[in-house]
Amino acid sequence: MDLSLTETQQMLQNAVQGFLEAELPKSRVLEIDDSETGFADDLWGKMAEMGLPGMLVPEQYGGSGNSVTDMAVVFEQLGLYASSSPLLDSGVLAATTILTAGSDAQKQALLPAIASGDRILTVAVTEEDYGWGPGTIALAASQSGDGYTLNGTKLFIPWAHVADQIIVVARTSGDGADGVTLFVVDRTASGVNTRLQTGWIGDKVCEVNFNNVQVAASDVLGSVGQGWAALQTAMDTTTAILSAYMAGGTQKAYDMAREYSQSRIAFGVPIGTFQRVQDHVIEAVTQADAIKWTAYEATWKLDEGRDDAALAVSAAKAVASTGYSQACDASHHVHGGIGTDLDFGLTHYTKRARTFQHYLGDAVHHRRRAAELLEL
């Protein structure tokens, strides 16, 4: 196993880093986070011009057909600069769900617009009984003539307020994986209502209510009642890439701790000479390395089609869900009071660590899943 970047991936890394260095200083991050929608249309347009939303979309559908690891290289840099955008949910989760479950006609209809960035999609999974397994899906989809009627509520759905369409994970029968069906629904369809959920969070999330929403049979992704397997495949890809994003954020938390420990003078010496400060810096770099290499092991195994790829994904997310927050805590210990200043920038990472620790499954979820995959 060789997890070092290829020459092409290094060029990709440099290009994205240069773009973010110019477009996303910490003051801009704070401005976007504090805006009403949390969405920067100009930044999204420039990401689209770079081809980022279409990286995982095959060339026949208007994308560039890059590997999962290529996309992870991009997201590590996005995490390093605390970038908020619908790229993960539209260009990764929605796109790979359509690729896995959709018919060729659906792929032709949906993927080119996703790849160009002209259309934003999100995937609505979680509900009041928050969780990332099929047993938590309760939103009802009842057959109505040739189509279906959706009734229920989804919670904590990223970017639903700016999405053009939502892939709704609903229940058509049963109470487990069998009976879960995927529907493509226009955000502006009659009976669909979105409400931003506020709090100290990273990417903006929404409550989405479905009140007698009519959906045509042609808008079912894949087979009725068999949507969970395709969604799980897409979530594995997305989870590995999210772990790379969290690796970038953890690296920044460490970088800030190290630099501050070298420049902050107390009692006539840099505080980095104090053993307890060194302990915090070491904690941060240990977590940064652990998250990065488990994330890239997962993307490599996905690209190689390894049988144990799902296990590697859950290992990576379990490490990232705990390690990102711990590294941010350690960095705050080094910085003291200045670390709480919103303009200083460390809080950009702290709140993302708290938000993403549970998105696509927290450490408990993924440890349990790893045990199931190992038949323990």
| Architecture category of domain 7-119 in CATH | Orthogonal Bundle (1.10)
Beta bridge partners of 123: 167
**How far, CA to CA in Å, does 195 sit from each of 69, 211, 214, 274, 357?**
34, 14, 20, 48, 23
Run means of pLDDT, 10 residues per run, the chain, 376 residues = 92 98 97 96 98 98 98 98 98 98 97 98 97 97 96 98 98 95 98 93 94 97 96 98 98 98 97 98 98 98 98 98 98 97 97 97 98 95
Options 1.10.10.60, 2.40.110.10, 3.20.20.80, 3.90.1150.10; CATH for 122-226 is 2.40.110.10
pLDDT in tens, 167-179: 999 999 999 999 9
Residue 270 has what pLDDT? 97
What is the sign, positive or negative, of the torsion defined by CA atoms of 130, 133, 137, 141?
Answer: positive
**How far, CA to CA in Å, does 62 sit from each of 17, 107, 163, 313?**
24, 10, 20, 28
Taking Cα atoms as reference points, which of 296, 300, 360, 349 lies closest to residue 126? Answer: 360
The greatest distance separating any two alpha carbons of the chain, rounded to the nearest whole angstrom, comes to 79
Residue 282 has what pLDDT? 98
pLDDT in tens, 256-314: 999 999 999 999 999 999 999 999 999 999 999 999 999 999 999 999 999 999 999 99
Q: Which amino acid is at 9?
A: Q
Q: 229-373 sits in which CATH class?
A: mainly alpha
The three-state secondary structure class of 143 is strand
Residue 199 has what pLDDT? 86
Residue 363 has what pLDDT? 98
Residue 2 has what pLDDT? 84
Contact residues for 119 (Cβ-Cβ < 8 A; gap 6+): 90, 110, 113, 164, 165
Residue 201 has what pLDDT? 82
Domain ranges (residues) in the chain: 7-119, 122-226, 229-373
Residue 1 has what pLDDT? 79
Strands 165-171 and 121-124: parallel
